[in-house]
Structure 1
């Protein structure tokens, strides 16, 4: 086939994976072909890291304490100063407002308060969030004072101030310092104990040291316990945290960084804000990395990154001379810096050519070491190139192409292209279903499957459906039964679905939770310490993953969300693509994105003055609008 179509002798064409090729190069150059670690070839790298961490915890109490603290309390980074109330992941039904879910099962206003609440919970310190102050303070100009936390065992209050290193609040916090002064004076007048922390002290870790010093003085003994029963948001599981460290290790070795390099990057500001968290991450990583290398040496083997680096060294030093004139690389969006260096080494000399194929819009493997900058910055690495854009797809209908392309292109770092489809269009390619609570998601999936079965029966053609989820645990939303005559349903994670397609796609739980879609842990900023250039665009890889989910569909994609917990991706699609939202029973849900903040949905409320609309992001957004006309229409 090769000889007939290309005019090339088959024995002069070689097709290998990077790993097989690298091992061959090392063997030929050194006379000794290395062995890859058996646990890597068996896909047990995460399990191995968990075992190494468990062993370190058994041998080193300091490592165990820091691992548990990071996993339970510090698993999620803090946003930029002043944005601590953005992107709420929970709904407080009692107070009718969005917020952030704690381990102790309450909803607090800011992400800084989440960290403090979880630290108190982890240490066994009882607290009550926003309880009325013990003295009456309500008057004509002020409501009753509710300190952030009341600590009953200490008979003390804890206020967390939104102040930076200079002691200044965000610029849009009008009257904030005056309020601080009033609260401090109130405590002094009534003789009530007040503990204080600031955002700057959270970033540095001094807030935790301060509380650890002061609480025992007030009769509260700290009792750190990572296994304390959790009623609220579950902490990060050991395998998930190990996966983060595995991805970090892959980037570190791929980019040939040392611990000195990593600490220098932290000092130079490669990541923002939560320095205490990032320093703890590096301390844990250093010990895990050392244990990983010791296991490799003990087994007399290497890992994938060692193999790529050693093979590249052999090529660059001239110990192995490439006989190839043309190098072709597929799935180039998944290339790491180590793979890029190997390819660059193969290009040295006259009459050497590189042909690379990839789709940066589908770059979703950063956890496995992929660095999208290798593709988006192609000419900076490999020199002047000719770029051919394949802009026709034969999978999705035209309107689905338009919606998905506009969505993924919001990131200015993505390569510009105009994807078109010659297929017949469909009336509603992307549907958004909103249910009242998570327990109703499976019912919504079953309802959509019944609709698809009816459509399939009418056309006489059986339909295929993928239930595409962000997490394996969402398999729980698979229906217990469906019409097998007209519908075939399969469950896949979005990562596993790449390259596949079905007539219809259903994505459950597209919510704003920490482990929602987008995942607020997957794009961990700490990864920037190990990468040449991190992606500044918010949820960059999660956006591409969402794009992959949408474009697995040959006809329609159905997104299921939860009321009051709508993902920022849902809000964006409604606001910018004007997609409609329907209730689980199929009735229209007239959803309007707040015209002031652009992040929340308008909610219908009734006061003694009549019906009105208010933003779901309240109190972060105080938008209100009279709704008497809309109320009459709904009646």
Structure 2
């Protein structure tokens, strides 16, 4: 190739000489200069490409950008026609598709590297790399994202890529930085790399594997000469406990804060911001209608009505729901009128209208506007007092203020008492403190100020719900910052942002290649630091992660950092590791089909390295939750009798499920309880998930992400139960041999119903209840036997949200 380029160069020179020797219409000085610039650029680029191909040096994005920046102006078509064919060819190269040429050459470089350097690449790890892994290693572009399926050997790729880059002269060992998300992972990667380098006869001196947090502290120390100290109360859940202590202090010292805290916790935290998305959760046996359960124990028709009813209840206001109007107004077109609320102490009626931001009722509410007019006319006709609220007013900046004032003007006394909510399913103080801490992590990680958040709130629906949340958030945020100052310490998010700012401002840490592990858990602050480290020409970034395993949103992670990789870091290839060395094909297929119901997950086709397909995921269905401990014992005893040695992970959705484990030992088995969250990165021969049930603390958890998080997060994860779906994927893919799910009749998880409907579950002989039948109407619940006033029938476990029934066969 070099010889060919040399011949081209010689031909161009000769052609130029001949061209200038011609007497007819010689080129002008401007034309000659343009032709000369074009031929020189073409010669330089072609020689560089030929050299890169000969030396198997990947032609990087940054090199292409430099060529594009120096590309001379296009020579006119009139001038081109007057050029010698060889010179014309060189000049025309200036106008060619450089990116297509580079992609073609890089393809040849990749294929040759996979063959000619195979012996070295295969020697780095104890087992030869797959073609997918080896491709990720030799693709030495400036920005590379590797999307890795569970158990696909991502650590092998990171170790081999570091070795390849050092061995073939891309970067020296002391210029390579590997960033992990916790200390154990960093230490494991460092140890593994040193061991594998030694086995390959390479020196790993200077190579650094570090956590983001440790590295961020180091960046600040090197940039300022003063290394900060992380607050001691950040680990082990103490951050949420600290938020709770701050809240207690604020509630004791500030009556206004106390009221808004309780208002949000007791009322708004139970609801969303779109009444059309609300699902009924109660059933009125008397009227045989579904609706929304109130703190007072009644069933109302809408979430807006429930919000008002609970507000009235907490304020100690006497009201009647849907009391018949005091005048008989029934006619051939209308049944007897029943306004939403009546206040008997002041003889006042109240209607809550389903009116949206556009001032109109939902399009599906046929005849609603006419009904509103008739009701208002009725009150005018009989001279009765009518108060009016709308859903939009309740959620916008006016909130409950006008309703409070109108009732107070008419003599209603308000006696706010949050203790009236005892015995209801109100959000706990601890759960709201967790939400505050999650919100804070995203605020800080994004570098949002109060002004920025106010602007974002202004561009959103300006809901009163979000307004109340921000009003309680900022005092907590400021108290948190005061504690840090008094403690002369820093928290994780502020530290990462400060480190990124120093690097962005020119504090070069000197690393030329950065490898980031578990990238699906990256927060914007981590991504910003990684971007700053490689934001110089000819530096390399490779991230490895699996968006299907993004389960740390509560800790500040934002999946959009991975799904919008090119927007964050610039253009570069996305490669996939789709061969799992852990799971059977059956487990891989079941888990992949389940998680990819979310269309925003990055598509992968996962293949098992194992030859046997494996057994289906099995389901043990019990008659009651009280049977779970005995059922776990029976399952372990059955497994113990079938294997000579095996590891078993029992994966709970919550830590409290540890108490479900039987105490007896089981020969041949090593049994460990973990939460599904803490199981990520681990594996076992067999996995049991013991409480696949519905409910607030079921799986999926019905403690749904509060919509207020949309103020501080991207719009990348709106799919229902998106994170819970990924969490089950993580749990399923911990197993090497088999997975068993356990559920309770009548309380089947919607995930169990979905898997059953897809034919992905096999009933276990250890079940004590009848096989699960997915609800044909909603597809999320299961049909169970119920007893009605006249007979038994099958009903959906999601009742009252789903009211499908059918006769018993």
TM-score in same-fold range (> 0.5)? yes
Q: For each residue in 1:304-341, what CA deviation from the matched residue of structure 2 results, as whole angstroms up to 9, or x when unmatched?
A: 122212222222222x3233222121111111111111
Matched, 1:525 2:713: no
Matched, 1:362 2:554: no
Matched, 1:555 2:738: yes
Please say which of residues 284-293 and 165-174 is displaced more in the overlay. 165-174
| Residue 64 (structure 1) shift | 1.4
Find the counterpart in structure 1 of residue 568 from structure 2.
381
Q: For each residue in 1:151-199, what CA deviation from the matched residue of structure 2 results, as whole angstroms up to 9, or x when unmatched?
A: 5655655443322134422222223334445555666777776544321
Q: Which one has the bigger helix percentage?
A: 2
CA distance in 1, matches of 2:670, 2:291: 39
Alignment of 1:339-488 (within 5 A): 339-421=526-608, 422=610, 424-431=612-619, 433=621, 440-444=624-628, 446-447=630-631, 449-459=633-643, 464-469=648-653, 471-474=654-657, 478=660, 484-485=666-667
| Residue 542 (structure 1) shift | 2.4
| Residue 103 (structure 1) shift | 3.3
Structure 1 length-normalised TM: 0.83
1:126–1:153 CA contact under 8 A, matched in 2? yes
2:250 to 51, 56, 74: 56
Pick closer, same or farther for the CA change 1:475–1:377 going to 2, 3 Å. Answer: same
Please say which of residues 567-576 and 257-266 is displaced more in the overlay. 567-576
| Residue 118 (structure 1) shift | 2.5
| Residue 262 (structure 1) shift | 0.8
Pick closer, same or farther for the CA change 1:519–1:614 going to 2, 3 Å. Answer: closer
Find the counterpart in structure 1 of residue 693 from structure 2.
510
| Residue 201 (structure 1) shift | 1.9
Pick closer, same or farther for the CA change 1:30–1:623 going to 2, 3 Å. Answer: closer
2:640–2:667 CA contact under 8 A, matched in 1? no
Q: For each residue in 1:460-499, what CA deviation from the matched residue of structure 2 results, as whole angstroms up to 9, or x when unmatched?
A: 6567351412x345556x1566674577665443222322
Query: Gaps (5+ residues) in structure 2?
Result: 1-194
Find the counterpart in structure 2 of residue 315 from structure 1.
503
CA distance in 2, matches of 1:4, 1:397: 33
1:511–1:562 CA contact under 8 A, matched in 2? no
The number of equivalent residue pairs is: 611
Find the counterpart in structure 2 of residue 588 from structure 1.
771
| Residue 360 (structure 1) shift | 0.9
Find the counterpart in structure 2 of residue 22 from structure 1.
216
Find the counterpart in structure 2 of residue 572 from structure 1.
754
CA distance in 2, matches of 1:480, 1:99: 40
CA distance in 2, matches of 1:482, 1:149: 58
Q: Secondary structure at 2:576's aligned position in 1? A: coil
1:397–1:425 CA contact under 8 A, matched in 2? yes
Please say which of residues 292-301 and 395-404 is displaced more in the overlay. 395-404
2:675 to 493, 498, 505: 493
Q: Secondary structure at 2:739's aligned position in 1? A: strand
Find the counterpart in structure 1 of residue 435 from structure 2.
244
Pick closer, same or farther for the CA change 1:572–1:187 going to 2, 3 Å. Answer: farther
Q: For each residue in 1:14-46, what CA deviation from the matched residue of structure 2 results, as whole angstroms up to 9, or x when unmatched?
A: 121111111112112211111112222565211
CA distance in 2, matches of 1:560, 1:303: 41
| Residue 350 (structure 1) shift | 4.0
Find the counterpart in structure 2 of residue 332 from structure 1.
519
Q: For each residue in 1:74-99, what CA deviation from the matched residue of structure 2 results, as whole angstroms up to 9, or x when unmatched?
A: 11342535333x3x445656666654
Q: For each residue in 1:433-478, what CA deviation from the matched residue of structure 2 results, as whole angstroms up to 9, or x when unmatched?
A: 375xxxx323245335424533442456567351412x345556x1
1:296 to 460, 465, 484: 484
Q: For each residue in 1:486-516, what CA deviation from the matched residue of structure 2 results, as whole angstroms up to 9, or x when unmatched?
A: 7766544322232234413224253254x54
1:26–1:310 CA contact under 8 A, matched in 2? yes
Please say which of residues 220-229 and 151-160 is displaced more in the overlay. 151-160
1:127–1:149 CA contact under 8 A, matched in 2? yes
Pick closer, same or farther for the CA change 1:424–1:210 going to 2, 3 Å. Answer: farther
Q: Secondary structure at 2:400's aligned position in 1? A: helix
2:266–2:421 CA contact under 8 A, matched in 1? no
Pick closer, same or farther for the CA change 1:391–1:94 going to 2, 3 Å. Answer: farther
Alignment of 1:92-171 (within 5 A): 99-127=291-319, 148-149=340-341, 158-171=350-363
CA RMSD of aligned residues (A): 3.8
Pick closer, same or farther for the CA change 1:327–1:524 going to 2, 3 Å. Answer: same
CA distance in 2, matches of 1:61, 1:116: 22
Q: Secondary structure at 2:502's aligned position in 1? A: helix
Q: Secondary structure at 2:577's aligned position in 1? A: coil
CA distance in 1, matches of 2:269, 2:304: 13
2:397–2:464 CA contact under 8 A, matched in 1? yes
2:231–2:484 CA contact under 8 A, matched in 1? yes
1:442–1:479 CA contact under 8 A, matched in 2? no
